Structure 1
Amino acid sequence: MFRWLRVLPWLFLCLSLPRAAFGAEEPLISAPWAALMEARTGQFLYSKNAHAERPPASTTKILTAVLALELGRLDAEVTVSKYAATTPGASIDLVAGTTWRLGDLIKGALMNSGNDATVAIAEHLAGSEETFAWMMNRKSRLIGAYRSHFVNPNGLPADNHYSTAYDLAVMSRYALQHPVFRRIVATREDEINGSPDQKRLLYNTNRLLTSYPGADGVKTGTTEEAGQCLVASATREGRQLIAVVLRSWDRYEDASRLLDYGFNAFHLELVQAGQRVGTIYVPNGRPQELPVVSSSDVAWTVPVEDMEGLEKRVLLPRAVKAPVRKGQVVGTIQLLYRGEEVASAPLVAAREIQAESWLSRFLKGPN
């Protein structure tokens, strides 16, 4: 009965709005604090009180894992202290005095949301939770998450421990660039082994991995103070989106609605690094055609209904003289939205072209 009482406000909101709210218009969600980001560009496609400071619960562990992956060795042995083993809340049941690989503790923190695993990580890397929290705060600012402050590595309720939907999206985008992090948060089940004779079966707490097409992360979080929280990511046809919902009535439904909105209502224009975008005439070269590619990804996201406002410009000279080095900058590619440049990259030579010898030019005669 009490479970139904919790769902009633959500049902009322859903039934009271027209069907159009679930189409191209902004989605209806129950979470008071939320954000949706295009992972490739870092653009925010949706924002709802996204800069408000909120308790982040176990989504805190995203940043803990980032530090562990960047500062530690995955095969390093970590001995569990009595303090770590008695950490309250979600746990992977670590026993004091046992030894685990750091990589396995990261799995336990991200997949099973083990608070004990995060404390063991913090003590291993920094000697104490307090010092590790200082490292977390410094790292969050370096990433660009300026409105977050952490006092522990797991998100257990504490004064002055907070983040925002915006910051959690920024931190997740950064974390997802690490291949090990990306692999762990997309894993549904795994097994880790410690010594002596320790074994744990891990089951990812993120149910979206089994219910949403393309879901590949990131982290759940739940405390009485924070409510239901979720940072969710999904990838379709090369596009990855990151949705954040805090204190949601139904975090999986809310995140699914945000992700659907991002995939359906927005278009990602992308020129990938190494993609051929044109050719240049090389009058004295062998050969005389120079293929030109983008030196890096150039991308921008626009509403589907406003795609006409997006323009791609390829700026190249009509000809260049040989010799030409592979990778030599020969032009620029620009994306403009409503007349303003929003992204650009140098265009470079895709191959080397040698200058034709004077004898060869003489024998060929005039063109």
Structure 2
Amino acid sequence: MGRRKRKKKSKFSLGILLIIIIPISIALFARDDQPSIKGEAAIVIDGETGRIIYSKNIHEKMYPASTTKLMTAILLEENKSPEDILVYSKNAEFQEPRKLSLPVGTKISAENSMDALLIYSANDIAYMIGENISGSNDEFVKLMNEKAREMNLKDTHFENPSGLPNDNHYSTAYDLALIAKKAYDYPWLMEAINKESSYIKTENKEIDFVIDNTNVLLNRNGCVGGKTGYTDGAGKCLVAFYERGGRKRIGVVLKSKDDITVFEDMEKIIDWSYNPVGKFLKKIWSL
């Protein structure tokens, strides 16, 4: 009887040990088995919980380029309705391309403005949105930074609504992931970012044209949206939203080297993020 009791105790102890060791081993192995990417910083988080799944230099301050426009879009949805009319300003006209280059005084719907901001990444429309909400670019930038503080973005500071170069305009992969997670609360924004193209027309319909989405991953392998970005200092940047099997993922890649590589970087970390444990088991079984 004594031997049987000791044997049961041994099995029980071994079971507890395995329960503790296996998850730790999987987590450590998965972390070491992260895919290598060219981007200088990157992150994948769970779109529901915010749990970090993949990370590379996630708290390093970097230039966000046009991924900035996600914050501008959040404030547009908070302050305007799709049917509201915005007026194109002189200051908007002066912005660097990429832009729509509308005549000063042109009236355009907020819905079309959201599309031009997120789909086409128009810098002039970002400034137009800011001025129509706050009266001036300076006041809108204050609103952007107030929202950043409200969201507890500790390593983010904005100087303009478009992401054009400025030494004091910066963010991190982690903070941009939090902005993207917040974007899920804004249905108009998410609807716009999911469009492959949009028909833009001014209020009097004297000007009309079609714009195409700059995110080539859209509607491929679960990608439901994304915001591209580029400046010389920022390199190629991308924030992307994924939904597979009912699970949401948000990915950020900053300062990748070219158009092809930034999308490849994103696909690598997203694919890995959906099944890091599976990759661990596959490697174990091959031993």
What TM-score do you get using the length of structure 1 for normalisation? 0.65
Is 1:86 aligned to residue 94 of structure 2? yes
Instruction: Report the Cα offset of residue 186 of structure 1.
Output: 1.2
Is 1:208 aligned to residue 228 of structure 2? no
Task: Measure, in 1, the Cα distance between the counterparts of 2:154 and 2:172.
Answer: 9
Structure 2: unaligned runs, 5 residues or longer: 1-28, 282-287
Alignment-mate amino acid for residue 189 of structure 1? S
Closer, same or farther: CA 266–184 of 1 in aligned 2, 3 Å: farther
Could you tell which deviates more after superposition, 88-97 or 218-227? 88-97
Is 1:254 aligned to residue 262 of structure 2? no
Tell whether the 8 Å contact from 2:30 to 2:277 is kept in structure 1 after alignment: no
Instruction: Report the Cα offset of residue 47 of structure 1.
Output: 1.2
Structure 1: unaligned runs, 5 residues or longer: 1-20, 268-302, 306-367
Tell whether the 8 Å contact from 1:22 to 1:28 is kept in structure 2 after alignment: no
- Counterpart in 1 of 2:148? 140
- Counterpart in 2 of 1:166? 174
- Counterpart in 2 of 1:221? 229
Alignment-mate amino acid for residue 148 of structure 2? S
Q: Give matches, 1:1-367, under 5 Å.
A: 25-196=33-204, 197-209=206-218, 212-249=220-257, 250-265=261-276
Tell whether the 8 Å contact from 2:120 to 2:211 is kept in structure 1 after alignment: yes
Tell whether the 8 Å contact from 2:108 to 2:202 is kept in structure 1 after alignment: yes
Instruction: Report the Cα offset of residue 103 of structure 1.
Output: 1.7
Task: Measure, in 2, the Cα distance between the counterparts of 1:213 and 1:95.
Answer: 39
Q: Deviations over 1:257-310 (max 9, x none)?
A: 01001112269xxxxxxxxxxxxxxxxxxxxxxxxxxxxxxxxxxx986xxxxx
Instruction: Report the Cα offset of residue 142 of structure 1.
Output: 1.2
Task: Measure, in 2, the Cα distance between the counterparts of 1:97 and 1:184.
Answer: 24
Task: Measure, in 2, the Cα distance between the counterparts of 1:266 and 1:70.
Answer: 39
Task: Measure, in 2, the Cα distance between the counterparts of 1:95 and 1:107.
Answer: 18
Instruction: Report the Cα offset of residue 232 of structure 1.
Output: 1.1
Task: Measure, in 2, the Cα distance between the counterparts of 1:22 and 1:216.
Answer: 26
Q: 3-state DSSP class of the match of 1:216?
A: strand
Task: Measure, in 2, the Cα distance between the counterparts of 1:92 and 1:238.
Answer: 37
Q: Deviations over 1:74-94 (max 9, x none)?
A: 211111112112211211222
Task: Measure, in 2, the Cα distance between the counterparts of 1:201 and 1:164.
Answer: 33
Tell whether the 8 Å contact from 2:88 to 2:128 is kept in structure 1 after alignment: yes
Task: Measure, in 2, the Cα distance between the counterparts of 1:204 and 1:30.
Answer: 24
Q: Deviations over 1:326-353 (max 9, x none)?
A: xxxxxxxxxxxxxxxxxxxxxxxxxxxx
Q: Deviations over 1:80-115 (max 9, x none)?
A: 112112211211222211100112111100000000
Moved over 6 A (4+): 21-24
Q: 3-state DSSP class of the match of 2:82?
A: coil
Task: Measure, in 2, the Cα distance between the counterparts of 1:304 and 1:74.
Answer: 47
- Structure with the greater alpha carbon radius of gyration: 1
Q: CA RMSD in A?
A: 2.0
Instruction: Report the Cα offset of residue 22 of structure 1.
Output: 11
Tell whether the 8 Å contact from 1:172 to 1:218 is kept in structure 2 after alignment: no
Q: Between Structure 1 and Structure 2, which shows a larger proportion of strand residues?
A: 1
Instruction: Report the Cα offset of residue 23 of structure 1.
Output: 11
Task: Measure, in 1, the Cα distance between the counterparts of 2:229 and 2:177.
Answer: 14
Task: Measure, in 2, the Cα distance between the counterparts of 1:40 and 1:304.
Answer: 24
Q: 3-state DSSP class of the match of 2:74?
A: helix
Tell whether the 8 Å contact from 1:24 to 1:261 is kept in structure 2 after alignment: no
Tell whether the 8 Å contact from 1:78 to 1:102 is kept in structure 2 after alignment: yes
- Counterpart in 2 of 1:336? none
Tell whether the 8 Å contact from 1:31 to 1:247 is kept in structure 2 after alignment: yes
Q: Between Structure 1 and Structure 2, which shows a larger proportion of helix residues?
A: 2
Instruction: Report the Cα offset of residue 199 of structure 1.
Output: 1.1
Instruction: Report the Cα offset of residue 200 of structure 1.
Output: 2.7
- Counterpart in 2 of 1:275? none
Tell whether the 8 Å contact from 1:57 to 1:226 is kept in structure 2 after alignment: yes
Q: Deviations over 1:35-81 (max 9, x none)?
A: 11110111111111111111100000000000000111221111111
